[in-house]
Amino acid sequence: MKKQPRRTPWPARLVKWGSVISLLIIGGQAALSVGTIECKLTTEKDCPPEIMDSLEEIKGQALLFNNLEEKLNLIKFNHPAQIKVTAKRLPKTIYLQVAREAGLYQIKDSSKIVTKSGFVFESTQENIVTIELPANSYEPKPDPLIHQNLVTLLESFSSRELEVTSISWQSSDKIHVHLANGLTVALNLEAVPTAGEKLKLILAENTISNLDLSGAELDLRFRLPVLRNVN
C-alpha cells in the first residue's frame, strides 16, 4: 500500500503561514510609508524650509493605520505650529496643513520676530511693524510690560485702520508711533490704552483732516493734544 505523505501538524502550519503573513504586512508597510511630504500653511503658501526640515522626522512612517497627526504634533519647531493631515495618496505621499501664530512685530536691526503671545523666533517677514526697544529689554523674551502695551497699541491702531510702520519705545514716558501717512504720535504709558481711539477722533476733525501730516508730531501725553512740526 502506497504511503500517504506525512502532513504537517496544524500548529506548525499556523506558525508558518503566520510568518508569511507577517512578512507580507511588513513589506506592505514599507511600500506604503511616508516618502513625499506636500505641506501648505493656512495662508496657502508653501511651508518654509525650516518646517520642511523638521518634517523629515516622519519620513518612513507607515502611511496607513498610523496616528500620524499625534506624531506630527510631537515635533518641535523653532516656531510653534499645529499640523493636520489633509490627504494621503498611495503609495508614499502625505498632504499637510500647518497653522502657526503670525508675527506681530520685529525687533529693529535684528531678525527677531515676536508673536502676540510673546514667543520670539528668528525669521524674515515683510510688511511687519518694526519696534525699537531699549537695549536688552527683549532678552530672551520681551519685557512683559512693554510687550503687553505694544500688543494693546498695535491692536487698537489696527482696529481703527491706522497703519503703523514702526514704534520707538525709549522709556515709559517717551513712546513714538510712526504711521504710514508720515505722522508721528508721541505717547507715554498712561496714554497707550486710549491712543487709537483718541487719534481716530482727532484725525476726523475738519481742522486736521485737510492738513499734510507728513513730518508732523501729535503729542497725546497731555490733557489736550499738541500738534507740532518736527522737520
Domain boundary among 100, 127, 148: 100
| Mean pLDDT across 211-221 | 90
Domain contains 23: no
Q: What are the φ and ψ backbone dihedral angles of 37, each rounded to 5 degrees?
A: -115, 120
Q: What is the pLDDT of residue 121?
A: 85
Q: What is the pLDDT of residue 35?
A: 87
pTM over 0.75, yes/no: no
Domain boundary among 82, 100, 118: 100
For the chain, the C-alpha Rg in angstroms (whole number) is: 30
pLDDT at 2 over 60: no
Residues 149 and 209 in one domain: yes
Neighbours of 221 (CB within 10 A): 16
pLDDT at 22 over 60: no
Q: How many domains does the chain have?
A: 2
Residues 120 and 195 in one domain: yes
Q: What is the pLDDT of residue 28?
A: 46
Domain contains 18: no
Residues 202 and 95 in one domain: no
| pLDDT per position as a tens digit, 45-93 | 999 898 999 999 999 898 888 888 888 888 888 777 888 899 999 889 9
> How confident is the prediction for the chain on average, in pLDDT?
84
Q: What is the pLDDT of residue 36?
A: 93
Domain boundary among 59, 83, 100: 100
| pLDDT per position as a tens digit, 104-152 | 999 998 888 999 988 888 877 778 999 999 877 777 778 899 999 999 9
Q: Which residue has the cell 481716530?
A: 200
Q: What are the φ and ψ backbone dihedral angles of 180, each rounded to 5 degrees?
A: -65, -25
DSSP readout, 5-41?
PPPPPHHHHHHHHHHHHHHHHHHHHHHTB--EEEEEE
Residues 65 and 163 in one domain: no
Residues 114 and 221 in one domain: yes
pLDDT at 39 over 80: yes
Domain contains 9: no
Q: Are 59 and 35 in contact (CB under 8 A)?
A: yes
Domain contains 176: yes
The more confident residue out of 191 and 28 is 191
The more confident residue out of 3 and 118 is 118
Q: What is the pLDDT of residue 123?
A: 79
- Residues of the domain holding 165: 103-229
Q: Which residue has the cell 506592505?
A: 28
Q: Give the CATH number, domain containing residue 179.
A: 3.40.50
